[in-house]
Amino acid sequence: MEMEILNIPTPSRTRLQAKLRLYKSEAEKLKRDLRRTTAIVPKNSDRDELLGGYGNGDNEDGNDFDASTMDQRQRLLSGTERLGQSSRRLEDSHRLALETEGIGINILSTLKGQRETMVRARDTLAEADSHIDKATKTLKGMARRMATNKLITAAIILILIVLIVLVIWSKLF
């Protein structure tokens, strides 16, 4: 549990560390009580001698010792149950953190793919732009040649008309 707490964000970590320390101290206290109780309980004849007849059913107060033992046992079981619940909650938190991390990885890979697509689109756009520039230059060159060809054709037609007029003029005069 201590290792799991280290992976939790700082605001939650301090609260969980305090709870963990509390649970540990309760568990240690319950263990000590259990050891004392088991060390105190000798064999039946020694017990009767030690307790002076208490606890063997001959006396009304014999139930007090059994009740305190049962109370200690109940507290120990309660502490163990709380530790188990805390462990389960920590495991659930860890599982949730792993799931969140997996989702984050998927999102990052998707974003990476989208970035690559955008870079390819930008490169394609730049290439298309360069092709458009070349096409524009080619069209401008073709327009200049067309204009030149029109002028040359007009000049040739004009020269032919002048020559025809001169030939007709020379034949008539």
Write down the mean pLDDT value for the chain.
84
In a domain, 33, yes or no: yes
Taking the C-alpha atoms of residue 18 and residue 10, their distance in angstroms, rounded to an integer, is 13
In a domain, 117, yes or no: yes
In a domain, 108, yes or no: yes
In a domain, 127, yes or no: yes
Number of domains in the chain: 1
First to last CA, the chain: 125
Instruction: Please state the rounded mean pLDDT for residues 8-20.
Output: 78
User: What is the 3 state secondary structure string of 47-93?
Assistant: HHHHHCCCCCCCCCCHHHHHHHHHHHHHHHHHHHHHHHHHHHHHHHH
- Over residues 46-104, the pLDDT tens digits come to 556 555 555 554 444 445 557 788 888 888 888 899 999 999 999 999 999 999 999 99
Instruction: Please state the rounded mean pLDDT for residues 22-51.
Output: 74
In a domain, 45, yes or no: yes
Q: Domain containing 22: what range?
A: 2-133
pTM of the full structure? 0.40
pLDDT reading at 42 higher than 80 = no
Tell me which of 18 and 82 has the higher pLDDT: 82
In a domain, 159, yes or no: no
In a domain, 160, yes or no: no
In a domain, 31, yes or no: yes
Instruction: Report whether 54 contacts 65 (CB < 8 A).
Output: yes
